[in-house]
Each structure stands twice: as C-alpha cells, then as structure tokens.
Amino acid sequence: MSPLRRLLETVHLTFAGLWMGALAMTGAAAAVIFPVVKTLDPTLPEYAAYTGPHWRLAAGHVASRIFLISDAVQLGCIIITGLTLGVIALSAEAWAKPIVTGLRIISLLAAISLMTYSFAFLGPRMNTNMVNYWDAAKTGDNESALAHQQAFDKDHPTASRVMVGSFLCALLLNTSGAFAASGASNRNPLTGTSAKRTLEEPSLSKDKQLR
C-alpha cells in the first residue's frame, strides 16, 4: 500500500467509525433517557397549564439536544469519509478488489441518500411538530399540543428506520473498508500482486552448503 493510500484509509476508517459510534450512542441515549424520565414523572413549572404528561416534555428537551449534536457529528463524518473514499476510488490500486470497492461506494451513496432525506424532509417536519408541541403545551393549549405530539409520533417509526439504515450503511462501510485496507497492505503497489516475504536461509543450512 502506498503512503498516500495508507493515510487516506486511516482517515476514512477513523471517521467512518466515529460516524457509526455517533449513531449507536444516539440511539442508546434515547433508549435510556425516555424510560428513566418517565419513571421520575417530573412536573415542570414552566408547563403548569399543560395537563398532559410532563415527562415527555422533559425527555424531549434533553434528547433533542443530543440528536442535534449527533447530526452535526454525522454530517462532518460523512463529508470526510466521502471525500477520502472518492480519492481512494480514483486510484487503480483500489480496484484490485472491485467488489469490495463497489460495496464501499454503494454503502456510502445509500447513507448519503438516507441523510439527505432526513435533513431535507423528515427532520424539519419532526422539528416543527416538536417545537409547536412545546409551545402549545407552554400556553396550555392542550388540544393543539396533543395534535402536534401525534403528528410527531407518526414520523417516529420512519426516523427509527432511517437511523437503523444509516447504522447498517456505516457498518458495511467500516467492514468493507477494513477488508480493503488489510488486503491492500499485503499487495505490491507497483504490480498489484501480493507481496511475499522472503525468509533468510538458516545459518546451519548455509554451513552445510559451504562444506
């Protein structure tokens, strides 16, 4: 593997792993926050006029900030992984294993499609319903708050599927990338053939040949 390819693969796999970790920790955080806050059953003075469950409001405020940070991390990671993979794919060395390189490109494009849908369509709609739910609850407009909450909940299964799909794309990207990098490290960058290590002949054998 050439030094440039080694550098690109290192950066690519580092940020692909960070991206996958961000997805996993975001899902884990949401799975912990909502049940714990529900058990605590808090009452929020700022939403005193709201007759619905306050734990949803409290957990939602915390989780929304985690998702915002996660989205920023994912966006940065997918940009870097995309740029590095693009440069890697331009080299002939990368196509020594065309199936693996093809899988890497397909998984990246699928992840970009999911992120584009989430950022451009699903996310803004859910954020709008969430903020409207909070505002209506704060003013005591319980009927409007319930309507916006139900609209938000309607999109939640889709958001979960998008997150799972993104995680699977990141997992495939990491797995295929690691496989490609490990295979490339054993290949001669000039010939594309596997590099074989030449073992030195034991000294005893040399002595016998000299006699």
Query: pLDDT tens across 32-47, in order?
Result: 999 999 999 999 999 9
Q: How far apart are CA 88 and CA 105, in angstroms?
A: 11
CB 148 within 8 A of CB 131: no
End-to-end alpha-carbon separation of the chain, Å? Answer: 42
CB 37 within 8 A of CB 59: yes
pTM, to two decimals: 0.82
Question: Tokens 């939640």 belong to which residue?
Answer: 156
Q: Tell me how crowded residue 109 is: count the other CB atoms within 10 A of its CB.
A: 12
> Residue 77: what are its φ and ψ, rounded to 5°?
-65, -40
Contacts (Cβ under 8 Å, ≥6 apart) of 82: 108, 112
Dihedral pair phi/psi, residue 194, rounded to 5°: -65, 135
Cα distance between residue 74 and residue 86, in whole Å: 18
Pairwise pLDDT comparison (116 vs 94), residue with the higher score = 116
Q: Is 14 helix (H, G, I), strand (E, B) or coil?
A: helix
Encode pLDDT of 147-193 as tens digits. Answer: 999 999 999 999 999 999 999 999 999 999 999 888 655 555 444 45
Q: How far is CA 190 from the centre of its chain?
A: 34
- pLDDT of res. 191: 47
* C-beta atoms surrounding 45 within 10 Å: 6
Residue 196 confidence class, pLDDT cut points 50, 70, 90: very low
Burial class (CB in 10 A: 0-12, 13-18, 19+), 168: middle
Distance CA 155, CA 129 (A): 10
pLDDT digits (tens, 9 = 90+) for 8-24: 999 999 999 999 999 99
Q: How far apart are CA 148 and CA 134, in angstroms?
A: 9
Mean pLDDT of all residues belonging to the chain: 89
Classify 53 as helix, strand or coil: coil
Burial 88-101 (b: 16+ CB within 10 A, else e): beebebbebbeebb
Q: How far apart are alpha carbons 76 and 73 in whole angstroms?
A: 5
